[in-house]
Each structure stands twice: as C-alpha cells, then as structure tokens.
C-alpha cells in the first residue's frame, strides 16, 4: 500500500498551488480554480473524490466550536451527465467528520471565491454551476504534478489519511473516518463503527504541519527515494485509467499526426526509468509510442524512442540507477532545432510549465500551460499558430521530407537580423543534434 512521505506531501501541495496560479494558456483557456482546495479537503478528510465534489455549503459548519462536514451525497453520471446523488454509495458512508484547521481554511477559500454553486449550493462547482467532473479533477491533479514527477491519485489521499490516523491512534478510528462498515483485510477482527468520526483534527493537522516543515528552500523537481519506492515498469503500467486511449483517439482523428511504434520491452524500460505511471501523459507516451510526429512533422514529441529519436529517459539522462532529476525535462523537438521542456525549477519560468527554446530567441520562454495541455494542443494542431513566425511559405512540403531526427539548418540563422525573413534564407536538412549544439553555442556567446 502506498503512502506519502512528509516531504512529498509538502511538494505536492506547493505544486498544486503553483499550477493553479499559472498564466492562462496562449489559446485563451481560463485557469481552473479550486484544485488546491479540493486536494486539501481530500487530504485532510479521506473523502472519496465523488464525496468531496458533492459537498454542499449546507453540509459544512465552519463556525462551530468544532468545525465539521457531513457526507450526504456523491457525484455520479446519470443519463449522460454528471449529477449530485443525494446519498453516499451506502448508508455506512454517511458520516460527520471533524475538520482539521487547514481543511477549514481550504473550504473557506473556496466559498470566498463566490462561485455559483447551482441549485445544490456546491462548495466545489464547475464553472457552469454543475457538479465538477471527478475525471477532470484527476487529469488536473496529474498535470499539476508534472514538475515534481509524482503520480499521486485522489485515492492515495484516502490511504494516507487512514495510515496516519491508524498509526497515531487506532485502526478503528481510521475505519470510522473513512466510513467503512468494517476493517476488512486491514485487520482480522470486527471493529464497531461510529457514524460520527472521532476528533482527529490534531492528528491530521500535525501531518500537514510536519510536511510543511520539511521543505525549507526551493523544492526539488521530483522524488524517487524515501517514501516513494522505485517501481518496475510493469507496476507503473498497470493502472485502471491509462492516458493512452484518449491520446490515441486524438491522434487517429488529427490530420498529419502519427505515433511511431515502440517495442513493449523498450516502453516498459523507459517507464521504469522515468518512475511515472501510465495514467500520466508523460508515462503514456513513454510506454505506448516511440514518439509522436504532428503538424506535417514539425513537432516531435518524445516517447519510448525510435527512428533516431531518443526515449524520454535517455534524453534526460534518467535511469533506475540514476534517478536524480534534471532541472528541466526535455519532452520534444521541432523541425528548426527548437526544444520543448517541462520546467523543473531550472529554467526560471514556472515549475510544471512547458517551455520552448527557440532558434530565433536563443532562450527559454514559457508557453503558458502544463505537459498534458501542450501535448493535446500539438496533436490537434492548435499549437501550430504559435510558431507561425518560424515558418516559411513551403514549410509543409519541406518538413514532410525530413526524418524524425532531422531539422533544417538555416543561413543566415533565425536569431540574426538577416535571418528574420525565412523565405529568403538557405535551408538544408541536418541531424537535430547538430542544430542543438550550434544554438547552444550561439546562446552561450550572448
């Protein structure tokens, strides 16, 4: 059973806050509110994600001497849409929970935003005043973790709360807090439950307080040791909700986009080196394709490697024997020698944001979103407009003739005044590695 270490909890909460505060995507998509508050509520109560998203303002009493929330429903899909079901999955799950201080603060933050909670008066509504989608929250949580390399799920929060409470008090208390009818495989004997969970605020507040105390100074981009035990590729691939089917659907419906093949063994090796699961977009690419080429071959998104392109682990010098994370993670290239990377703190843009090193600027600039949003924009063609200044009149035909590991060397170079008009420069195909070395050397001279 996986539980989170103190440092990992603190880094996760920090990453979620930074993701929430990220700049809006270039395409104008609004930032999604409430993820930090939802995460803190689940982390401090052990609620299922559906129970959390079904919370109503009427279910919480934040001004009482002992603040509480009562679980009275869950979010389900009925007739093709999400609705609030006015009862939990079972009668045993209806319970009242005394709230730790940081959960009270999180719920107050959510309510103070003044969002329309709809007819149910939801605490965490969607922007349409309807129940928020659990699957969308899971996607956002995965995206928020890109900078630190973790793959924590909402269900991990339940496990973590149960472990903290059981270790600090009793297993029976953990059972009551989570709303289980009995302790099942956790213990071999019956424990009488109570519908009002014991007062565990101090225990859970201590968990978050200790976590915060472990992260003085800038956070490390990822954690591969300590509480997070290295997992095999097969373990990381064995997930209930892999990201690949959604990506495969986008690829199959996108013109001039294709997934390069990768062997199963190579995909598993790359996944093991990265230590991310197949739920994440990063893990899905590593496991299921050698790379993705999109927009007539202009973009090359790294995966498990092939056709001259390195796998994600090799490109970032990661392996099970060398899990030390780089200051940023390379995730793709383009046809003119540009590189895409997730900022892990070393680029000075924003942790978790995808950045671009362009041959015209010779510097890293943020693109305004995380890895999952970036990959989707590349596959669907939405990202192409951002790079119009680096394209010329015959670029589609020219780029389609390149190999995946090739790019165009241009003279005069794009960073020079003479090289700004790309229809009036000379171009020749060269290995991408040659372009990277040239632009790195030019950047160092600036």
| pLDDT value at 252 more than 50 | yes
Q: What percent of the chain has pLDDT over 70?
A: 78
Cα 331 to Cα 242: distance, rounded to the nearest angstrom: 19
361-399: per-residue pLDDT in tens? Answer: 999 999 988 899 999 999 999 898 889 889 999 999 999
pTM score over 0.85 = no
pLDDT confidence bin for 61, thresholds 50/70/90: very high
- What pLDDT is attached to residue 311? 97
Convert the pLDDT of each residue in 340-371 to its tens digit: 999 988 898 888 899 999 999 999 999 988 89
pLDDT tens readout for residues 81-138: 899 998 876 665 788 988 988 899 999 999 998 899 999 999 999 988 999 999 889 9
Interval 313-341 mean pLDDT: 88
pLDDT at 198 over 70: no
C-alpha Rg value of the chain to the nearest Å: 24
Per-residue pLDDT tens digits for 5-53 = 667 788 889 999 988 887 665 544 445 579 999 999 998 888 889 999 9
Answer yes or no: is pLDDT of 170 > 80. no
Alpha helix (H) ranges present in 169-295? 171-178, 201-213, 233-237, 244-253, 264-274, 281-288
Lowest mean pLDDT of 102-111, 197-206, 232-241, 299-308, name the range: 197-206
* 257-273 tens-digit pLDDT: 999 999 999 999 999 99
Is a pLDDT exceeding 50 seen at residue 224?
A: no
Domains in the chain (CATH in brackets) are: 6-213 (1.10.443.10), 242-445 (no CATH)
DSSP readout, 374-434?
HHHHHHHTTTGGGGGGG--TTHHHHHHTS-TTEEEEEES-TTSGGGS-GGGSEEEEEEHHH
> What region, left, alpha or beta, does residue 416 occupy, with left being phi > 0 and alpha being psi -120 to 50 degrees?
beta
pLDDT digits (tens, 9 = 90+) for 181-192: 554 423 322 223
Q: Mean per-residue pLDDT for 410-423?
A: 93
194 three-state secondary structure: coil
Residue 438 in this model has a pLDDT that exceeds 90 = yes
Q: How many other β-carbons are positioned within 10 Å of the β-carbon of residue 229?
A: 10
Start-to-end CA span in the chain (Å):
51
Three-state secondary-structure class, residue 311: coil
């Amino acid at each position: 059973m996986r539980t989170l270490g103190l440092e990992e909890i603190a880094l996760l909460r920090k990453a979620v806050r930074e993701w929430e505060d990220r700049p809006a995507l270039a395409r104008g998509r609004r930032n999604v509110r409430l993820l930090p508050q939802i995460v803190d509520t689940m982390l401090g109560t052990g609620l299922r994600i559906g129970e959390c998203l079904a919370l109503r303002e009427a279910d919480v009493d934040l001004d009482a001497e002992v603040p509480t929330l009562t679980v009275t429903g869950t979010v389900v899909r009925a007739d093709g849409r999400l609705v609030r079901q006015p009862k939990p999955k079972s009668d045993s799950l209806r319970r009242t929970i005394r709230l730790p201080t940081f959960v009270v603060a999180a719920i107050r933050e959510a309510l103070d935003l003044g969002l329309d909670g709809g007819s149910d008066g939801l605490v965490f509504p969607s922007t349409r005043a309807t129940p928020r989608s659990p699957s969308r929250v899971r996607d956002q949580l995965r995206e928020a973790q890109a900078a630190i390399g973790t793959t924590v799920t909402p269900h991990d929060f339940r496990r973590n709360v149960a472990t903290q409470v059981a270790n600090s008090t009793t297993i029976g208390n953990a059972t009551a807090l989570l709303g289980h009818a009995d302790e099942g495989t956790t213990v071999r004997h019956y424990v009488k439950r109570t519908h009002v969970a014991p007062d565990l605020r101090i225990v859970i507040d201590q968990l978050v307080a200790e976590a915060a105390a472990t992260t003085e100074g800038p956070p490390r981009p990822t954690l591969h040791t300590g509480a997070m035990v290295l997992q095999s590729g097969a373990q990381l691939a064995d997930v209930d909700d892999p990201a690949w089917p959604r990506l495969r659907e986008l690829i199959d419906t996108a013109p001039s986009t294709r997934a390069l093949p990768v062997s199963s063994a190579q995909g598993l090796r790359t996944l093991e080196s990265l230590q991310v699961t197949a739920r994440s977009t990063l893990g899905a690419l590593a496991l299921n394709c050698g790379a993705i080429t999109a927009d007539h071959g202009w973009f090359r998104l790294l995966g498990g490697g092939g056709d001259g392109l390195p796998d994600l682990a090799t490109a970032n010098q990661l392996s099970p024997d060398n899990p030390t994370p780089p200051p940023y993670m390379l995730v793709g290239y383009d046809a003119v020698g540009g590189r895409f990377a997730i900022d892990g703190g070393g680029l000075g843009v924003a942790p978790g944001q995808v950045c671009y090193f362009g041959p015209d600027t010779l510097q890293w600039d943020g693109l305004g979103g995380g890895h999952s949003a970036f990959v989707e924009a590349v596959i669907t063609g939405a990202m192409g407009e951002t790079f119009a200044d680096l394209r010329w009149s015959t670029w589609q035909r020219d780029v389609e003739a390149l190999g995946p590991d090739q790019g165009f060397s241009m003279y005069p170079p794009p960073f020079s005044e003479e090289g700004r008009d790309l229809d009036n420069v000379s171009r020749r195909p060269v290995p991408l590695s040659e372009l990277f070395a040239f632009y790195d050397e030019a950047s160092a001279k600036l």
